[in-house]
Amino acid sequence: MNRQKIAHVLVGLWLVLLAPGAAAWNAAALVPNNSRILATGGATQIEGQAGGGIVPWAVLAGYGSSGEVGGSGFYTHVELKDYSLEAFGAAVSFDNRMELSLARQEFDLGTLGRALGVPDKELRQNIFGLKLRLYGDLIYGVLPQFAFGVQYKHNLDFGIPAAVGARHDSDADFYLSAAKLWLAGPLGRNVFANITLRHTRANQGGLLGFGGDRGDSREVMFESALGFFITRHIAVGAEYRQQPHKLGFSPQSDWFDAFVGLFPGKHVALVAAYADLGTVATLPEQRGWYLSLQVAF
């Protein structure tokens, strides 16, 4: 019951923050002036927050700088050997200080669903996100930009996760993140790096529930991203995301992606990636492609 209370508090907090956010938008006259530099809102990662593909970064969604409002919407499709994942949602950021996001993930069980003959053909979850910029700026200053983030996740299909040993159908991930862009790195190109430390017990990012027969406590997981801007419109990079291993029925691999991000302008971004999620729910070598479209302001 205790964790349910925490869940209610977290969703409540998210909803409560929406009001002052919207009020600040009006009262403090936050304007959608798009002042931040191209690509500094990142893409939208699969949990709906500003980031890369699989890792949330310390940057906030959209292009709102101080005294401004920004936001983004996204649709992502990941096609793996035996599964596919769709994710979509929206985020809004206020004063380049606070980002609120909502996302839905729909994971198609494909091969495994047919093999198990289970009634559920997909695993879905909703994700409420909150991110606060704690300190610093991505570009200016010696230190990186730091952010604290929460992702509250709620499974809509808990039958399979429960059957394979997951303990909870909802939970929150907490993380600290640091991001820095270095102007004129190698060959005069701008270089980006991000490190995220996530406190989590989510199985496959939460799609297979939270906690399990191998443990119910959260662990600190390491996530990172490295990017290189060939021009200001084209970035190439890679990401790594360590995963906890709470379910005995299957190994849980760390995730990896290599991406090309296209930023033709501030209102649209496209990311194409190669993703390797390793073994997912007993099926090995889950590699494939990742495509994400973002609209932003």
Partner 1 sequence: MYRQGMQQVVMTLALFCAVVVAEPVVAATRLYDQLGGEVGVVAIVDQFLFKLADDKRINHFFVDTNVKRFREKLIEQFCALSGGPCTYTGDSMQQSHAGMDINLAAFNALVEDLIEAMEQCKVATGAQNRLLALLAPMHQDIIEKP
Measure Cα distances from 217 to 2, 154, 158, 210, 255 in Å.
14, 18, 19, 9, 21
| Cα–Cα distance measured from residue 44 to residue 127, given in angstroms and rounded to the nearest whole number | 13
Question: Is residue 35 part of the contact set for partner 1 (CB under 8 A)?
Answer: yes
Cβ distance to partner 1 smaller for residue 67 or 110: 67
- The contact mask relative to partner 1 for 104-143 (x = CB under 8 A, - = no) is ---------------------------------x-xxx--
Does residue 264 bind partner 1 (CB under 8 A)? no
Least spacing, CB of residue 288 vs partner 1, in Å: 14
* Residues 220-239 close enough to bind partner 1 by CB under 8 A: 226, 228, 230-232, 236, 238
Interface with partner 1 (CB under 8 A), residue total: 39
List C-alpha distances in Å: 121 to 83, 84, 137, 164, 170.
Answer: 11, 11, 44, 15, 20
**In the chain, what's the furthest Cα-to-Cα distance?**
56
194 neighbors 55 (Cβ within 8 angstroms): yes
Rounded CA gap, 62 and 50, in Å?
A: 8
Q: CA dihedral defined by 158, 161, 163, 168, rounded to 10 degrees? A: -70
Dihedral, CA atoms, 122, 3, 57, 75, nearest 10 degrees?
Answer: 30
Q: Please state the closest distance from residue 30 (CB atom) to partner 1, in A.
A: 10
240 counts as binding partner 1 under rule CB under 8 A: yes
* Least Å from the CB of residue 210 to partner 1: 20
**Window 175-194: contact mask with partner 1 (x via CB under 8 A):** --------xx-xxxxx----
- Selected range binding partner 1 among 46-54, 114-122, 205-213, 245-253, rule: CB under 8 A: 245-253
In the range 4-23, which residues lie near partner 1 by CB under 8 A? none
- Asked if residues 220 and 206 have their Cβ atoms less than 8 Å apart, the reply is no
Q: Which of residues 42-101 bind partner 1 (CB under 8 A)?
A: 65-68, 96
Q: Which is nearer to partner 1, 4 or 66 (CB)?
A: 66
Q: Is 249 in the site for partner 1 (CB under 8 A)?
A: no
Nearer to partner 1, 119 or 188 (CB): 188
Q: How far is the CB of 106 from partner 1 (least distance, A)?
A: 26
Give the length of the chain: 297
- Give which of 73, 51, 100, 28 is closest to 205, Cα–Cα: 51
**Residue 282 sits in the site that holds partner 1 (CB under 8 A):** no
Q: How far apart are CA 64 and CA 67, in angstroms?
A: 8
Residue 183: count other Cβ atoms within 10 Å of its Cβ.
Answer: 11
Q: What does the binding site for partner 1 look like in residue numbers (CB under 8 A)?
A: 33, 35-38, 65-68, 96, 137, 139-141, 183-184, 186-190, 226, 228, 230-232, 236, 238, 240, 242-243, 251-254, 256, 258, 276, 278
